[in-house]
Structure 1
Amino acid sequence: MRGKQMKTVLITGCSSGIGQHVALGLQQRGYNVLATARKQADVEVLQQQGLNAAQLDLDSSESIQQAMAWVKREIEHASAGELYGLFNNGAYGQPGAIEDLSRNVLRQQLETNLLGWHELTCAVLPLMRHQGYGRIIQNSSVLGLITLRFRGAYNTSKFALEGYTDTLRQELDGTGIYVSLIEPGPVTSKFRVNAFKAFQDNIDIKASPFRSTYEKVEARLANDQDSDDIFTLGPESVLKKVLHALESKRPKPRYYVTFPTYLFGYLRRILPTRLLDLILLKVSRSEHK
């Protein structure tokens, strides 16, 4: 394998949080980072930070195609001329009870968090197959392992991603292309701010049977400060796992990051469903007091 400084990695969702931190961290370690974000204004900020960046909207096939044309031009100019890694990270959370989600709202969650990732991954795979190796890293969630109330759309997208990625890993066995899932749990980012906007835009609070709970959810989401929970880690915790997935000769299928992910990953394997439900309901209700 060529030296680390020759490896090109494409990253989505770099406007803030995990994506931006991983992009900057990999660049500092000598990777040729191709950073992307949905909004042009965010792309310009990334460029000001010294990153090679371009626009990529996961909801748009045209945008994905344009971004891939840019990727191919960039790797042609790079000394290695290859795309070593893809870190699928761009996503958002749509709060709301299942029965308050319209078909279009749920579809939009899946478009961004799953179907856009699928289209981009399928565009990258021929490059990796041609060179005979590569790394695909999917940023999932503890909510791809267990569920919490009022996160049904996000739970659905991440559970689907888990099954999708497990299948992809099996199908790519023996190709030299390794596929890994990152399971972050609570990590400081702008996730709460974006979720609050999605909640306000798409949920009719007054018409919902959960109105009183939603009012508490609003109060929690309106606090745009990162959680001070002792289990919340910084984005550098994810960077550490991404580095292992990129650099290990045999990367892990899954990387747990925070204590809640380790805990619930274990509990879901050993507890009967009803008992796990009781625990998760208690966790959810404690959030909305």
Structure 2
Amino acid sequence: MATKAILITGCSSGIGLHCALELQREGYQVLATARQTQDVDKLIELGLTAHQLDLADPASVEAGFNWAVNQAEDGIYALFNNGAYALPGALEDVTRAQLKCLFETNVFGWHQLTNLCIEHMLEHKQGRIIQNSSVLGLVAMKFRGAYNASKYAIEGLSDTLRLELRHTNIYISLIEPGPILSKFRANALMQFEQNIDVNNSRFAQTYQKMLSRLKKEGPGMAFTEGPESVLKRVRHALNAKQPQARYYVTKPTYFIGLMRRILPTKWLDQLVKNF
């Protein structure tokens, strides 16, 4: 029986890297991708089959997909969309161009790659598409609006795909992580410093507190878990006969998911206002 191939984006660090290494150890043919060529070189040094794929570049997405098809021993069985970044800051401080740039990576690139994989999976009469969303795809939190919006978009696209792919043997699953140990916060800090005009914002003082949190080493908040918690859900989505539509990860996601269902909007706003 041929080894099942899984294409993973955003493998330079954190969740993507951990899942790529562990799934390869478990016998999957992992096809790892990253945006930067130096990160691809590092992945190859770690023993992974890797290729450059920039989700913001349509030509790069198509080339990366074609590479994966050529590498896959028996077709691409699964796609794990993971590559994404955050741009912290009040929405009034985020420009149209900045929001568009974020959506190119976090949404449009995912959509293009997903559609390419769907066509391929339909030919092979099976497939798993796993979308790494977020607790911020379930509830909005201030100063996270750009990332919130991108994850809300992924939630909507995935829910629609699940309906449209019924009876095709292609399953769509959303992973909903809360705080996970990774370089995500460090990358968000870099995006903030490069894009947000702190001195000319009415939130200048608030941003100073936010910067302290972003610069903090180690877990950013209570109940932070390691990337192995995400791997556990990815593994189930890959192997289960009937994978779940959504997989919550970390206690904050379970808590927020429950409160979102039972609380009026005004009460939910009060609950998340200090996050």
Residue matched to 2:256: 264
Letter in 2 for 1:267: M
SS at match of 2:161: helix
Q: Is the 8 A contact 2:179 2:220 kept in 1?
A: no
Distance in 2, Cα, partners of 1:276 & 1:221: 24
SS at match of 1:10: strand
Matches of residues 1-289 of structure 1 in structure 2 within 5 Å?
A: 2=1, 6-75=3-72, 78=73, 81-223=74-216, 225-227=217-219, 229-281=221-273, 283-284=274-275
1:27-80 deviations in whole A, cap 9, x for unaligned? 0000000000000000011001100000000000111111122112112xx2xx
Q: CA deviation at 1:6?
A: 1.1
Which 5+ residue runs of structure 2 have no aligned equivalent? none
Q: Is the 8 A contact 2:10 2:34 kept in 1?
A: yes
Letter in 2 for 1:71: A
Q: CA deviation at 1:228?
A: 5.8
Distance in 2, Cα, partners of 1:218 & 1:266: 30
Distance in 2, Cα, partners of 1:173 & 1:183: 22
% same residue: 54
SS at match of 1:13: coil
Structure 1 runs, 4 residues or longer, greater than 4 Å off: none
Distance in 2, Cα, partners of 1:180 & 1:68: 20
Distance in 2, Cα, partners of 1:199 & 1:85: 33
Letter in 1 for 2:262: I
Q: Is the 8 A contact 2:76 2:120 kept in 1?
A: yes
Q: CA RMSD in A?
A: 1.0
Distance in 1, Cα, partners of 2:76 & 2:70: 11
Which 5+ residue runs of structure 1 have no aligned equivalent? 285-289
TM-score computed with the length of structure 2 as normaliser: 0.98
Q: CA deviation at 1:108?
A: 1.1
Q: CA deviation at 1:123?
A: 1.1
Q: CA deviation at 1:263?
A: 0.4
Q: Is the 8 A contact 2:213 2:220 kept in 1?
A: no
Letter in 2 for 1:115: F
1:137-177 deviations in whole A, cap 9, x for unaligned? 00000000011110000000001110110001110001000
1:213-267 deviations in whole A, cap 9, x for unaligned? 01111222123x2316440000000000000000000000000010000000000
Letter in 2 for 1:235: P
SS at match of 1:84: strand
Residue correspondences, number: 275
Residue matched to 1:287: none
Residue 206 to residue 229, structure 1, CA distance change in 2 (3 Å): closer
Letter in 2 for 1:220: R
